[in-house]
Structures are given as C-alpha cells and as structure tokens.
Amino acid sequence: MLQKILDKFKLDCNSCDNCKNLEDDEVSNQTPCFTNLHENEKQNFIRLLRQTGRTLSNEEMEVVNEFLSHEGHLSSDFLQTKLTPKHIDISKEKVEEVLDLLCRYGLAQKVQLNGTGPWYEHLHIGENHDHLMCTRCGKVVEFYDEDLREKIFESAKSHGFDPLFYKTTIYGICNECKSKQGQSLPLTMISPGEKAKIVSFKGGSQLKKKLSDMGLVCGEVIEVLGKSGPIILNVKGSRLALGKGIAQKIMVTLED
C-alpha cells in the first residue's frame, strides 16, 4: 500500500529500488524516500498555512513533524508521548487542535475503529484504502481491493445513489489471535459474536457461588453479545450483564 504511494510520487531517490523489496510495515520514516515524501507534505502544509493566513507556534510545528514521521494510525496521546523526551511542552488538547487542522487541510483523516479513537492517519493524495481490524488485539491492517470498490459503487448506483467515496472496516480475528485457539483467556478478551466455554475462575468460593447462581459454571458455553458498556452474554438463551472486573476473573476457551 505505502509503496504504491511512493511509485505515484516519483521520488528522485537512490534507495527507492531497495524500498520496492520491502513489506509495507518495513518501509518507514528511516528510508530516504519516505523522508522526502514527508518533507514534501510538510512544505505543502506550510504553503496552505500561508495561503490562508494561519501561523503555528514552534511547538505546534513539532506536532506536525512528529505526525509526518510516522505511518499508521496515531493518537494524540502517542504523539504527546513522543514529544515529551524532546522537551516540548504542549498539552494534549493543543496536539488534537493541530491534528484537526491537518485533517481540515487534507493531510490527515480522523477515524474511529471498533468504537475506539479518534485515530489519525496520513491522507496521501491519490491513496485509497480500507481496514481490517482484529476485535481481540486491536491490530489494524490497511488493504485496497479494486473489485470490492467497483461492487460497492455498482450497488450504490443500483439504488439510485451517486457514490463519491467510501470507507470500509472489516472486523475479525487476526492470525496471531487465531493461533491462541485452545488457550484459556479472560472473558474480557472475547469479541462480540464469539462463543466460549468457561474453564475456570480466578476468585474465591463466594465469587464462584455468585456466578454459579447466574448460570456461569465450568463447562457452560456462552456467547458474547456486546462489550461497549458492561459485557452482555447469552447464557442458555437469556441475556446477562457482567461488569468487566468480574468478567476478567472468568477464564474461557474459544469454541469453533
């Protein structure tokens, strides 16, 4: 995905042939071609500031520099953490103001993923991508599928709707998390839509009795229905709400 951006950018860089042999997650701000790409975006941003009569402080420009030096999905907390060792004193609110300005000027976009965020990612000119997100560990993978794009646009037009753009996030389980099948996990790690078998409890007899009275016993197969607030379970055809503190003490294995 990122290499396609470099190909379109047509950088005059001696390392570009080497970068073409790297995976997207290996191509980073440490390669000269990406340093050039980010510097070009910075200069575009500075020109936009001049055209609109805006000015930024030195601290605010450091936020811009830090954002441009990283690819992926970034949070204001992450950027503030990166700026602290550089002795740059800037509030989280001010970091978010700069990030929102980058969004308004077309250099970034703000996304919500699985109810978390906001996350900020680069908005490279000519770049289109969607997201795969692991609901267990939160890993996000960017992908682009021209066939998917065409089918979505065709579907929109068949309903009399003229599409302009779209963003898709597909939720699922990544390979790393799938490899842990069979291992016991806290109930809090199970994603909505998944079924799991209770195998043990981390607590005393009083907690076990309380859970047993609710139908939560070892060997019982339960389904997670929601996690946005309390954890909502399907237990023997009835909905049950659990606080995350208690759910953390219930160990389960995933059911196929």
Query: Domain range for residue 132?
Result: 128-179
Examine the domain organization and report whether 71 and 140 are in the same domain: no
Q: How many structural domains is the chain composed of?
A: 3
Burial letters 168-207, b for 16+ CB under 10 A, else e: eeeeebbeebeeeeeeebebbbbbeebebebeebeeeeee
Q: What's the mean per-residue pLDDT of the chain?
A: 81
Examine the domain organization and report whether 152 and 119 are in the same domain: no
Of 130, 200, 198, 208, the closest CA to residue 168 belongs to: 130
More confident call, 11 vs 196:
196
Examine the domain organization and report whether 46 and 111 are in the same domain: yes
Say which residue the tokens 């929601």 belong to. 226
Where residue 197 sits, what CATH number does that domain have?
A: 2.30.30.90
Examine the domain organization and report whether 6 and 123 are in the same domain: yes
Examine the domain organization and report whether 203 and 248 are in the same domain: yes
pLDDT confidence of residue 26: 43
Asked if pLDDT for residue 168 goes beyond 80, the answer is no
Residues with Cβ within 8 Å of residue 204, at least 6 apart in sequence: none
Of the residues 87, 106, 127, which one is the last residue of a structural domain? 127
> Can you give the pTM of this predicted structure?
0.51
Where residue 59 sits, what CATH number does that domain have?
A: 1.10.10.10
- Average pLDDT of the residues in 78-94: 92
- Average pLDDT of the residues in 11-17: 48
Bridging pattern class, strands 185-186 and 250-254: antiparallel
> Can you tell me the distance from the alpha carbon of 171 to that of 148, in angstroms, rounded to the nearest whole number?
16
